[in-house]
Structure 1
Amino acid sequence: MNYLIAVYANKVEALSARTALEKSLPSEQISILGEGFESTDEYGLIKPERQAKSNLQSFAYWVVPLGFACGYAFNFLENIEIPTVDGVLNQVAGGLLGAAFGLLFAFAVGSSVESNVVNKDASLYRDRLNAGKYLIVFHGTSELVKIATNTLHCFDVENI
């Protein structure tokens, strides 16, 4: 699914562009964001739950093995004895505790830190909406996006 987002300075231009798009493209694939219409959050331009899950997975990918290695090494170097485990399993148990700490760290940090790369475009659009501008969002196949782009260029578009 491809998206096309066009920025218009006023409501009249945005409505004119949407009317022109509706003549040649399916209207359920066209949305206007701005005052009196949907916001970026209502439209779903920013999905914090998906972002948090992605951050959690990317942190866990490297923090859990690192936690295991650090827990294993710490237990090996310090000769900490876990009463119910003997020998090499003692260090493995230390590694598992380190991995569990790594997973806890990934959960705490990964779900709370916002990704600036993902939010960069969405915040730019939100800033434009806060400045009183309007966005037309079209989603469809690449062929339909090309048609929509040609149609929207006929109007006083600020940015596509």
Structure 2
Amino acid sequence: MNYLVAVLPDRSQAEAAYSALQQEGLPNDGINILGDGYQSADDYGLIDPNLAASKEIKREFYWLVGFGFIAGFAFNWLTAIEILPAIAPIGNHIIGGIFGAAAGAMGAYFSGGAVGLTIGSGDALPYRNRLNAGKYLVIVQGTNELVDRANRILRQFEPENIQGYTEPIGT
């Protein structure tokens, strides 16, 4: 499936573009308007960057906490630092491992969150920002030929941005 996303500055241009696409015979079920008074980004299914960030945090959390514990334990074992002199050396090694695990959890939170917000959401974040700024998105989905026809029609409205996407096979 191919997609074409055009960013238009106001509602009247989005409605005019939608009407022009309909007049050219494009199917109504393949044309969507996102913006105030129409579908929201969540209704349409644009990826929420916060959801992508939390998924990336969880993915990294499982690895980094375990490796952090092992690294903290090994560091304390090799350096023989006494964190609490009153307990046995193995207890200090375990406390060192707990500190390493905590560092791993912080690393997962900060790096996973940053990666999820910036990369995990793809182009959804810029489109969400434009919707929040009061702009409108006209999205056309269909075959390659249909998207090419829609591209020619939408360019007449001088959109701020127009971008085509191809959905990978198997999704």
Matches within 5 A, 1:8-157: 8-22=8-22, 23-47=24-48, 48-58=50-60, 61=63, 64-78=66-80, 80-82=89-91, 97=98, 100-101=101-102, 104-105=105-106, 108-109=109-110, 115-117=117-119, 121-140=123-142, 142-157=144-159
Aligned mates of 1:15, 1:8 — CA distance in 2 = 10
Q: Percent identity?
A: 34
Provide closer, same or farther for how the CA distance between residues 143 and 132 of structure 1 changes in structure 2, counting only shifts above 3 A: same
Q: Deviations over 1:39-92 (max 9, x none)?
A: 22333324222331124324655564354223212133227225xxxxxxxx7x
- Give the gaps of 5 or more residues in structure 2: 82-88, 163-171
TM-score, scaled to structure 2 = 0.61
Provide closer, same or farther for how the CA distance between residues 52 and 139 of structure 1 changes in structure 2, counting only shifts above 3 A: farther
CA RMSD of aligned residues (A): 3.8
TM-score, scaled to structure 1 = 0.64
Residue 94 of structure 1 and its aligned partner are, at CA, apart by 7.5
Secondary structure in 1 aligned to 2:46? coil
- Give the gaps of 5 or more residues in structure 1: 83-90
